[in-house]
Structure 1
Amino acid sequence: MGPNKKLDVPVYDLSAVRGIWEVRVKKYRTRQKKEQQRVENSALARRPAGRGTSGLEGPDLPAGRRSLAGEFPHSQGKGTGSVMCEGTVLQDFPRELQWTTYLQEWHVRRTRIRQLPDFLALFTQLTVLEIPRNLIADLPPQIGKLAALRRLNVGYNRLSKVPPELGDCEKLERLELAGNLSLSELPFELSSLKQLVHLDISENRFASIPICALRMSRLQLLDLSNNQLSDLPQDMDRLQELSTLFVHHNSLSYLPVCLANISSLQMVVASGDALTCVPTKLCNDPEIKEQEVKDGSEKEFMEAYISTLKDRDTVPFSTTKVSISCLL
């Protein structure tokens, strides 16, 4: 810098700057206080007095990264009514979880958990139990104590059987057991699930439709795809509220005439290679959307399937008849 150059030095009223930062500091402290209160009241940080603090992480962790017993690194409380965990190496439920019996929802997936905890029966307020894609081999009989349960998803685990006590969960509305591979039957006691509207037992080893399923009088969606069915029972019209039926990727050669008697039926999805007989009334009914899947046409089918059922919770309303085929 030359000797004739001037150095311009900005001059500010520091009291004004101080005022701005005091406001910011105040807001920051308020946010910190609210965050601490939220953590203390959350499902992942609450613990009863006198139980000690071992394994329970406090508010020094970033929001959304609370740790339960140091083993839920990706768990997150949704309000104070649920616990969530996904994609961890967790192998068991932490014992500290038993002190949070006020929980209404569990969402635990993609872990290495092999069994549900022995204190499960304490969660009498639980309405949602979402535990898909783990390594769970058995459902304990205590699951029947969850009287408030409305939704159960144990898809893509390692179940080979379902306990009859599940039939005691009479408020259950949605049951998903897809992809357990060794599952081939359901206990008759599940006939008590009169509120069930959604049953998914796809991708298993069912050789016939479970008798209990035909007694679920309010059933609206039944997914039996990717099993070992060779026929459908002639009394399927017992399901008078059924609107959507998936039976593709089985060994069916015909669809029973009784399906045409189900006035609520709006969609039937079946595989076409072995299917040689479909009731004429079923084909001509403008209220029924029929999708036929042939081997080798998986891509075309999935496009039609996704466009029709973008949300599996909804029932399709289209009355356009669609037939899909692919010649190799």
Structure 2
Amino acid sequence: MVGVAVCNSVSSIKALWETRIRRKKEEQEEEQEQKRRRKIGGGATGRLSFGIWEDRAALTRLRQKLQTEDGRLILRIEQEEWKSLPRCLVQLSQVQEWQIHRTGLQKIPPFISSFQYLLVLDLSRNGVSEIPKQIGKLTRLRELLLSYNRIQFVPEELSCCESLERLELAMNQDLDHLPDQFRNLKKLQHLDLSMNDFTCLPDCVVALPALEWLDMGGNRLQHLPEDIHRMEKLHTLWLQRNELKNLPENISRMASLDTLVLSSNRLSDIPPLMEDMSNLRFVNFRDNPLTLDVTLQPKKTNAEDDSDDGDDREMFGLEFMQMYIQEARKRAYAVQNMHKLSDDSSD
């Protein structure tokens, strides 16, 4: 009996010991798991705290870029690196004008639609490659300046910017198309599409009812539309450095046109009807392979006026155009008379 009791006692002690060891091991494992969780949680909290601090720092930095001019709140950033704009910028949604130049900005943020008081958005000379559709929410926007960027496509939503008066998209190089809805910009007066890849003047541009100033220089225009005279309010038209070979006669019906630049094209002649463009004040036909060789005579001036006035005429300007048309008419008459004499002699 004594031997049995001792045996049972040893077994109980062994079982109790093993149980304690197992519990101790489980407690250690549980403690390690809790430490691991606290470590992970602490890291997330740390990252969150860092993100909040980073936003606050960015917002403070942006606030330092605010200026007030003529009662207008302007955000001006120049020659600093801002490849993207932080979301915290929406806290400055009362800003009326963005002037952000040479920052390397690559994208207009979609939260641009939060800036309902924005009147001017000037992001010239950056690396912007896309105009977001949210731009159409800016119904008060008057000026959108995106020259010297990398934009290849203009979204139709831009036509919803009903207050837009000035749009500059010069030197985006690969831009060659505008959406037909563009014609809905009823207040657009100033449009710069120079130094891009257009091969024709878009019909939606011709249809703009308020357009007064248009620059299509430095494209690949091969012809102008026959109905170009629909641009009734246009007073300035820049078409230099294109591939135009002739001009439509209806260009003479552009009653408001006073400045026309056609230098560095492939024009062989000047439409005679342009002689009747009484409002035209400046024109330039320099560097075109015109058929006739016309040279203006130097102005005769008094000796005492030579030092002040001199011959300040544009040698391929308005006077040149008129003389060219007159000379072309004389030669046409001469050729016609020669044919008539030839016909008479044959009879």
Normalising by structure 1, what TM-score? 0.68
Mapping of residues 166-177 of structure 1, within 5 Å: 166-177=158-169
Q: Residue by residue, what CA displacement relative to the aligned partner does 1:253-275 show, whole Å, maximum 9, x if unpaired? A: 11211111011000100025511
Q: What amino acid maps onto 2:284 in structure 1?
A: Q
Matched residue, 1:294: 287
- Partners of 1:323 and 1:287 lie apart in 2 by 19
Matched residue, 2:73: 81
Mapping of residues 95-106 of structure 1, within 5 Å: 95-106=87-98
- Partners of 1:214 and 1:324 lie apart in 2 by 27
Mapping of residues 53-68 of structure 1, within 5 Å: 55-56=55-56, 68=59
Change in Cα spacing, 1:273 to 1:122, as seen in structure 2 (3 Å) is closer
Mapping of residues 99-114 of structure 1, within 5 Å: 99-114=91-106
- Partners of 2:245 and 2:208 lie apart in 1 by 25
Q: What is the CA RMSD across the aligned residues, in angstroms? A: 2.4
1:117 aligns with 2:109: yes
- Partners of 1:76 and 1:123 lie apart in 2 by 15
Q: What amino acid maps onto 2:81 in structure 1?
A: V
Q: What amino acid maps onto 2:257 in structure 1?
A: L
Change in Cα spacing, 1:133 to 1:273, as seen in structure 2 (3 Å) is closer
- Partners of 2:177 and 2:139 lie apart in 1 by 23
- Partners of 2:316 and 2:55 lie apart in 1 by 56
1:255 aligns with 2:215: no
Q: What amino acid maps onto 1:282 in structure 2?
A: M
Q: Which has the larger radius of gyration?
A: 2
Mapping of residues 152-191 of structure 1, within 5 Å: 152-191=144-183
- Partners of 1:212 and 1:179 lie apart in 2 by 20
- Partners of 1:154 and 1:75 lie apart in 2 by 20
Residue of 198, 203, 209 corresponding to 1:206: 198
Q: Residue by residue, what CA displacement relative to the aligned partner does 1:9-32 show, whole Å, maximum 9, x if unpaired? A: xxxxxxxxxxxxxxxxxxxxxxxx
Residue of 128, 131, 135 corresponding to 2:123: 131
CA contact (8 A) 2:252 2:276 kept: no
Secondary structure (helix, strand or coil) at the match of 1:175 reads strand
Q: What amino acid maps onto 1:251 in structure 2?
A: E
Secondary structure (helix, strand or coil) at the match of 2:285 reads strand
- Partners of 2:179 and 2:198 lie apart in 1 by 13
Q: What amino acid maps onto 1:293 in structure 2?
A: R
Please identify which structure carries the higher helix content. 2
Residue of 242, 259, 271 corresponding to 2:263: 271
Secondary structure (helix, strand or coil) at the match of 1:119 reads helix
Matched residue, 1:47: none
CA contact (8 A) 1:248 1:293 kept: no
Matched residue, 2:306: none
Secondary structure (helix, strand or coil) at the match of 2:107 reads coil
Matched residue, 1:193: 185
Normalising by structure 2, what TM-score? 0.65
Q: What amino acid maps onto 2:219 in structure 1?
A: N
Q: What amino acid maps onto 1:75 in structure 2?
A: K
Change in Cα spacing, 1:146 to 1:73, as seen in structure 2 (3 Å) is closer
Residue correspondences, number: 241
CA contact (8 A) 2:242 2:264 kept: no
Percent identity, please. 33
Secondary structure (helix, strand or coil) at the match of 1:97 reads helix
- Partners of 2:112 and 2:63 lie apart in 1 by 22
Residue of 221, 235, 239 corresponding to 1:229: 221
Change in Cα spacing, 1:112 to 1:73, as seen in structure 2 (3 Å) is farther
- Partners of 2:114 and 2:55 lie apart in 1 by 21
Which consecutive residues of structure 2, in runs of 5 or more, have no partner in the other structure? 1-51, 289-311, 318-347
